[in-house]
Structures are given as C-alpha cells and as structure tokens.
C-alpha cells in the first residue's frame, strides 16, 4: 500500500530540511485514512541535533490532542538527514516501533539536492513505502 502525501506537504518538509541544515529538522504528519495533508514542525530536542532527532513526548501528546479535535490523526513523523540519503539510519531503526507509523525522511539525492522518501515502521526496522503526491 502506498502513502499519499500532499505535494505542498512534501515541499514544506524539504524546505524545512534545507532551512534547518546542518541540523536535522523534525515534526509530525497529520491526515486521515492514509493521506497526509499536514506537516506540523516540532523542535528537535536531541542533544546532538546534527545527527539525530527527538520530539519531546509532551509535544507529541499536544499534537495528537489538537489533531483529534480537528478530526485528524497523527499518521507518523518526518525528519531530515542533512548529510545523507533519505534512508533510515541505525538510530532510526532502533526507534522504530511495530505501530505501522509512516516515517518520511528528507535527505540528499545523488545530485546533491533534497528528496523525500517514505517508510513504514515495523518492529526493529522499516519497509519502503511508495510515495504518491497529490495536489490540493
């Protein structure tokens, strides 16, 4: 199954990745029924933000609450790899839970630009998720 992410969300995430470099940016993906319509930026509170990210649990909780109040759900999260490809790192795999969350990672393309790829979390790792854009 593919994940559908609004093109404006893909553009917003890669723009945040570029702005935040050389530190990793991060945030949450909101939507419903497998379609991401919104990216909510969060502070990267990891002590080593150049190579890792961490979203404070109270931020996650607050975003979950406000999403529910608007009839949306938190479908997953996004973060960036300022120096590397948009593939899960060992640290990312260690954080992956068997919750089926969508992880979007903005990283460097072979040409040196930014590109976004999506992954589905499972216990101890990720499965690649075909990413489909849509305009709205």
From 76, 83, 65, 70, select the one nearest 30 (Cα to Cα): 76
25 versus 40: smaller Cβ distance to Zn ion = 25
- Separation of alpha carbons 11 and 17, rounded Å: 10
Residue linked to tokens 């939507």: 31
- Which of the stretches 1-9, 29-37, 86-94, 123-131 binds Zn ion when contact is defined by CB under 5 A? 86-94
Note the helical H segments in the chain: 7-20, 57-69, 90-95
The answer to whether 46 contacts Zn ion (rule: CB under 5 A) is no
Q: What is the DSSP letter of 24?
A: P
Single residue of 92, 116, 118, 129 touching Zn ion by CB under 5 A: 92
72 versus 77: smaller Cβ distance to Zn ion = 77
The answer to whether 23 contacts Zn ion (rule: CB under 5 A) is no
Q: Which residues are near Zn ion by CB under 5 A?
A: 89, 92
């Amino acid at each position: 199954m593919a994940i559908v992410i609004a093109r404006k969300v893909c553009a917003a995430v890669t723009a945040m990745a570029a702005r935040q470099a050389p530190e990793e940016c991060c945030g949450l993906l909101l939507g419903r029924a497998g379609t991401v319509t919104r990216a909510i930026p969060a502070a990267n509170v990891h002590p080593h933000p150049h190579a890792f990210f961490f979203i404070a649990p109270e931020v996650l909780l607050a975003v979950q609450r406000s999403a529910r109040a608007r009839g949306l759900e938190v479908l997953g999260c996004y973060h960036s790899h300022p120096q590397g490809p948009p593939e899960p790192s060992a640290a990312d795999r260690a954080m992956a839970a068997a919750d089926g969350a969508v992880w979007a990672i903005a990283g460097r393309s072979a040409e040196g630009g930014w590109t976004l790829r999506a992954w589905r979390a499972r216990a101890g790792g990720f499965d690649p998720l075909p990413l489909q854009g849509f305009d709205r």
